[in-house]
């Protein structure tokens, strides 16, 4: 029998399936909008321009300066572009960086958001916005931040480089693993987490072997949706705290940091959360931390924080920061054990 729980659904409309980008125009009209500003990162500007051309008169411009961690200065330029072309909604084409910009705009002017997700980070289904200003990252939540419509079209992800696919997929899996032991977990987030892990466990090796495999790409997007939905519904713990610390204070890249730390944080919590982690552990051969490490290694994922440019001399400070204002975690956060965890992750060793 299920224990007592609270589940608050995030009310987004999801359109899933290869070719579903053909429905963006209808979705803009459904939102009673007529003038979309298309958003992307600089490297995806051509794809954004092509999307704008497909939308015809429903799109009034492209803003292609989206950047990691949603810098407020970029959002301010995007707000000016939005006003200049008299846009009435945004269409974000990309991963967490582009979705972050759409959310930041919506948070300021309540513009409806249609997100066409092309990585596996999961941000498109969360009411969470992390933005940076003067080197400080702040996180806000709110119903205005959650995108109204999300489109998952695997055809638009065929060119996502395998290396980014892998780290982004492991980023999604981290949402699911932490969701399994979240203090505010519920039966539905548990089902989504395990199904999301299964999809990504199946999809990522297939994508590495055949990057243009549409079925594997769809499977990965399905897993990303489920794992992102878990992130949007329950609280995160040690893993996300460590990633935020390393990203914020040592400027480490988002998805790679998640990919490297996941086996270690899963191992750290393995005993304290053994019952709720059991379905995930079974997927990875019984030992979740070791199994995730072998899985990541087999995909060619980065394994060592050293390879991301982190200095060994920063590990003590990182451990200190990580134990300050800790998030709730199933196992107490002990400075010595966290320092040890970080040391292993820095060297790229299999978790203890
Ligand atoms: P990203 O959005 O920066 O994308 C990574 C790279 O992949 C970029 O250069 C991008 O242009 C490129 N790319 C994206 N789609 C592509 C495609 N189809 N083909 C080729 N290249 C493509 O990275 P990300 O990992 O998706 O997102 C990271 C950001 O998202 C971070 O700022 C993180 O904090 C944020 N995030 C937020 C949440 C949330 O709920 N608020 C959740 C997860 C991540």
pLDDT of residue 242: 96
Retrieve residue 77's tokens.
């330029």
Q: Alpha-carbon distance 76 to 83, whole Å? A: 11
Residue nearest to atom 34 of ligand 1 (CA): 69
Q: What is the dihedral of CA 142, 144, 147, 149, to 10 degrees?
A: 130
**How far apart, in whole angstroms, are the C-alpha atoms of residue 288 and residue 263?**
7
Q: What pTM does this model have?
A: 0.97
The residue whose CA is least distant from atom 21 of ligand 1 is: 160
Tokens of 57: 């008169």
- Which strand (E) or helix (H) includes residue 133? strand 128-133
CA distances for 215 relative to 16, 121, 145, 245, 297, angstroms:
13, 19, 31, 36, 23
Residues of the chain with pLDDT under 70: 1-2
**Among the atoms of ligand 1, which is closest to the Cα of residue 161?**
20
Cα 62 to Cα 117: distance, rounded to the nearest angstrom: 17
For residue 352, report the distance from its CA to the centre of ligand 1, in Å: 30
Q: Measuring from atom 42 of ligand 1, which residue has the nearest CA?
A: 123
Q: Cβ neighbours of residue 144 under 8 Å, at least 6 residues apart?
A: 106, 107, 110
181 CA → ligand 1 middle, Å: 25
The number of residues in the chain equals: 352
Within 6 Å (CB) of ligand 1, which residues are found? Answer: 41, 43-44, 68-69, 94-98, 100, 118-119, 121-123, 126, 128-130, 156-157, 159-160, 164, 168, 171, 231, 254-255
| In the chain, alpha helices (H) | 24-30, 45-55, 72-84, 96-109, 162-180, 187-209, 214-233, 238-250, 254-269, 274-283, 288-298, 315-323, 335-347
Residue-wise pLDDT tens digits, 21-79:
999 999 999 999 999 999 999 999 999 999 999 999 999 999 999 999 999 999 999 99
The two structure tokens encoding residue 253: 């890249």
Report whether 130 contacts 103 (CB < 8 A): no
pLDDT for res 100: 98
Q: How far is the CA of 239 from the centre of ligand 1 (A)?
A: 19
Structure tokens at 54: 């497909």
Whose C-alpha lies nearest to ligand 1, atom 4?
95
Closest ligand 1 atom number to CA of residue 43:
11
Taking the centre of ligand 1 as the mean of its atom positions, its distance from the CA of residue 70, in whole angstroms, is 11
* Backbone angles phi and psi of 87, in degrees to 5: -70, 160
């Amino acid at each position: 029998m299920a224990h007592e729980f609270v589940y608050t659904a995030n009310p987004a409309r999801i359109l899933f399936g290869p070719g579903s980008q053909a429905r963006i125009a209808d979705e803009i009209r459904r939102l009673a909008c007529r003038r979309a500003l298309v958003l992307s990162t600089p490297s995806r500007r051509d794809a954004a321009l092509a999307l704008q051309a497909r939308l015809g008169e429903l799109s009034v411009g492209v803003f292609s300066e989206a950047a990691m961690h949603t810098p407020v200065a970029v959002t301010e330029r995007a707000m000016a572009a939005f006003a200049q072309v008299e846009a009435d909604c945004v269409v974000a084409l990309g991963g967490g960086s582009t979705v972050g910009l759409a959310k930041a705009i919506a948070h300021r002017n309540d513009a409806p958001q249609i997100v066409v997700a092309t990585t596996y980070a999961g941000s498109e289904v969360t009411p969470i916005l992390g933005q940076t200003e003067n080197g400080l990252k702040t996180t806000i939540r709110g119903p205005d931040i959650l995108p109204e419509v999300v489109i998952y079209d695997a055809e638009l992800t065929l060119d996502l480089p395998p290396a980014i696919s892998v780290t982004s997929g492991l980023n999604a899996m981290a949402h699911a693993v932490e969701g399994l032991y979240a203090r505010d977990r519920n039966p539905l987030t548990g089902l989504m987490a395990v199904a999301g892990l299964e999809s990504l466990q199946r999809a990522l090796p297939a994508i590495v072997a055949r990057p243009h495999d549409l079925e594997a790409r769809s499977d990965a997007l399905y897993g990303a949706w489920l794992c992102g939905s878990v992130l949007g519904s329950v609280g995160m713990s040690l893993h996300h705290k460590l990633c935020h610390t390393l990203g914020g204070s040592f400027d480490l890249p988002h998805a790679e940091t998640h990919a490297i730390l996941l086996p270690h944080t899963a191992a750290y919590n393995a005993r304290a959360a053994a019952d709720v982690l059991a379905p995930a552990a079974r997927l990875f051969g019984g030992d979740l931390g070791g199994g995730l490490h072998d899985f990541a290694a087999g995909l060619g994922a980065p394994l060592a924080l050293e390879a991301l440019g982190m200095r060994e001399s920063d590990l003590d400070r990182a451990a200190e920061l990580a134990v300050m204002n800790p998030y709730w975690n199933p196992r107490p956060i002990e400075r010595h054990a966290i320092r040890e965890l970080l040391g292993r992750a820095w060297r790229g060793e299999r978790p203890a």
